[in-house]
Amino acid sequence: MLKFRSIFSKSKSNNLFLLRSLTKSSTSPADAFSYSQNAFSFSKHSSLPAPASVSRVPLSRSFATDSEARDSIEYDVVVVGAGPAGLSAAIRLKQLCHQKGADLSVCVVEKGAEVGAHIISGNVFEPRALDELLPQWKQEEAPINTPVSSDKFWFLTKNRAISLPSPFHNKGNYVISLSQLVRWLGAKAEELGVEIYPGFAASEILYDANNKVIGIGTNDMGIAKDGSKKENFQPGVEVKGRITLLAEGCRGSLSEKIMGKYNLKEKGGAQHQTYALGIKEVWEIDEKKHQPGAVVHTLGWPLDHKTYGGSFLYHMKDNQISIGFVVALNYQNPFMNPYEEFQKFKHHPAIRPYLEGGTVIQYGARTLNEGGFQSIPYPVFPGGAIIGCSAGFLNVPKIKGTHTAMKSGMLAAEVTFGVLNEGLDMDMYWNALRNSWIWDELYKARNYRPAFEYGLIPGLALSGLEHYLLRGKHPFTLKHGKADHEATNAAQLHSPIHYPKADGVLSFDVPTSLHRSNTNHEHDQPPHLRLRDPKIPETVNLPVYAAPESRYCPARVYEYVADEHNQLKLQINAQNCLHCKACDIKDPKQNIEWTVPEGGGGPGYSVM
């Protein structure tokens, strides 16, 4: 497997050198992992082979440093996030440079330990955008080789699976691992001259005197929990760009700040965003049960009829299947536990036979945007733009967002090239989006998700009407209900949900799953999960909502532990964090702020 690594170091002349190496390794990006449960820490550490580093920065690149300021690097374009949108933007920029004889320096900064390490998705891939970006992807051995062979849609009761007409139209699509596709895209970007630097977390936006964005700053490395500098301390770096493209994925921390600072939701006339939490496992199953390309989606059990969500089961290559469960985060019952709902789901009589005798290879979780057309913000800010799932281009009825994310990055790249070479205005990106097939696709799909605000059965009826008769031409645009954090009811309105104990065969406890996610964070660092008011967990969340953070988090980051006076206090096990962002979204009082930890921390996905 290709392993991308990068480190910043000082030379004898006190200039900043950016060192990169690309090594062959079969070692997982996170052979060292750690997690915490019930106030006890468990850890495993193994040393990774130290690659031989070689400079990948042109000698003509200038670096600035002094005793008062951080080191800085200047590029024409800085992209934050090496996902489908960010890499597509970088590739398209370099393609335009080659086509038009221009020379733009393009840098991609990625917080994961390697490209693809934080990428997780279903994924039934629609190749429309890739066909436009890299038409020869088949000949160039993209990891896209399992075409959809069947497409089933089931409504589940407790003991039955009722077949419904499939609305997904997956003919011509492929079952893939998105983390593997992103690694391939990263290699293609590098071939074109894009500089990719994984292991560095963009923690702040840089502004000039006129409030224009001029790049990003990475966080300091080697800071202890108490704020002191450890022996391995390295200051953050300023990565400056004439244009900055934010491609952080769903609920990007910098993107959210930018949208607030420049009032981009209001400027775009957008409603609030609404989200779902997706939890996924990849299994290796019996060859006799494996049906390459088979696709199954479900609605219904085990969720109640007021909660939007469902499941997927995709047959990948090599006797692998990806199985997942998605729960909309506007659910009302604070006793609901999405992780436990997923474990329960796997025992359904229609699902269990696929898994029996199999082995789980990997586990992960991530939130996804479900606001669709109604929730798209104005994506342009002074000095840059927001692309991909940071802006929210997921097509909910298709259950697909990779193709739209890629296309948004390509459009932003084309406008960026025009801005830097032809005097265009970055606002043209907004026009390009509205004139693209992204806009047409999301407009037609705009009423599916809000239709389920009325419950499962009315939602199925309204969405069926939209799909089969109106085909997106309904004269009205439905609105979303309450914001996800506001939808949580007080605990007194519901009864506790008692979930069955994990059997260790089909269902598993959280620590076992965390082990499979390869999640790793340095223990001795400032917490990246911050409470705006440290009193709210004990004064509001616990007595009013029965501690929902201990259930909506799929990594057991949040737990209430008795202190010396036998009073329950919130304990944050930040080292468990999967970077799913559910806490930043679902906390009833919006008291939890998700920020980036040290670069390289988090999950280490390889087949997700």
Which amino acids are annotated catalytic? Answer: 121, 366, 402, 553, 577, 580, 583
Please enumerate in sequence order all residues whose Cβ is within 8 A of that of 260, keeping only pairs 6 or more positions apart, or say none: none
**CB-count burial class (<10 Å; 0-12, 13-18, 19+) for 207:** middle
As a whole number of angstroms, the distance between CA 98 and CA 413 comes to 14
Contact 397, 347 (CB under 8 A): no
Residue type present at position 80: V
Contact 160, 591 (CB under 8 A): no
Query: If residue 23 lies in a helix (H) or strand (E), which one and from where to where?
Result: strand 16-24
As a whole number of angstroms, the distance between CA 561 and CA 260 comes to 35
Contact 391, 375 (CB under 8 A): no
Q: Dihedral of CA 108/92/193/416: which sign?
A: negative
Q: How many helices (H) and strands (E) does the chain have?
A: 17, 29
For residue 251, CA distances in Å to 56, 92, 583 come to: 31, 24, 11
DSSP 470: I
Please enumerate in sequence order all residues whose Cβ is within 8 A of that of 116, keeping only pairs 6 or more positions apart, or say none: 82, 179, 180, 182, 183, 186, 605, 606
* Token pair 């690594």 in the structure block, residue: 5
* Token pair 């965390």 in the structure block, residue: 514
Q: Around 351, how many Cα atoms within 13 Å sit in the side-chain half-sphere?
A: 33
As a whole number of angstroms, the distance between CA 111 and CA 98 comes to 28
Q: How far apart are the first and last CA of the chain?
A: 15
As a whole number of angstroms, the distance between CA 49 and CA 35 comes to 23
Please enumerate in sequence order all residues whose Cβ is within 8 A of that of 101, keeping only pairs 6 or more positions apart, or say none: none
Q: Around 295, how many Cα atoms within 13 Å sit in the side-chain half-sphere?
A: 25
3-state helix, strand, coil in the chain (%, to 5): 25, 25, 45
Q: Give one DSSP letter per residue of 417-460, joined into a string.
A: HHHHHH---TTHHHHHHHTSHHHHHHHHTTTHHHHGGG-HHHHH
As a whole number of angstroms, the distance between CA 271 and CA 266 comes to 8
As a whole number of angstroms, the distance between CA 470 and CA 220 comes to 53
Residue type present at position 198: P
